[in-house]
Structure 1
């Protein structure tokens, strides 16, 4: 987190806060691209807000972990759900409408795919 905080402050030219959900996501991720990947992710998130939340982070860094191994089509569906929920100001009803599914189905898929953070804020 010290590096993430420094990268975000450098990007915004002021102090940037991270929500608990964002901190969990950043510390849980394995960072195969090391510090450069962290810098890219934090720069992108800090470009959008002074308070970075999990919804500001890219899908691959998001906290949610599916309950089982997903098929390729399920991974695409999960990523699309996360993308819709990450749009600022989007409600669950709006996300469901964009996805062409009911709200109940959206809630079920969020549970099945282990999506966390984004769903809590939408």
Structure 2
């Protein structure tokens, strides 16, 4: 049985205090899974990702990374957990390829440390 690497339980979040765009969102992403969040414009896809990334506050519910609660953790600490966010634009850095833009979005301090240890 695979274990969840990301688990959201009853997430509520929005951009204005008291006005939640997300209400009661549950999501489980297991190790090795590829998950796609789809829906029409304004459905809350980006809002969910921003809440997980700490870019907006979660007003209700909790989320876990590898079984440890990370609700409302600061964005830089979420990145250190290996979670990245690439905004929905053609290219964040127009001179780079799509792959290079995604690599930058997934870059974390952990990767730097891994490379440093390999060079010792």
TM range (shorter): under 0.3
Q: TM-score with structure 2 length normalisation?
A: 0.26
Question: Hey, which of these two has a bigger chunk of strand by percent?
Answer: 2
Q: TM-score with structure 1 length normalisation?
A: 0.26
Question: Hey, which of these two has a bigger chunk of helix by percent?
Answer: 1
Higher relative contact order (Cα pairs below 8 Å, separated by 6+ residues): 1
Question: Which structure has the larger Rg?
Answer: 2
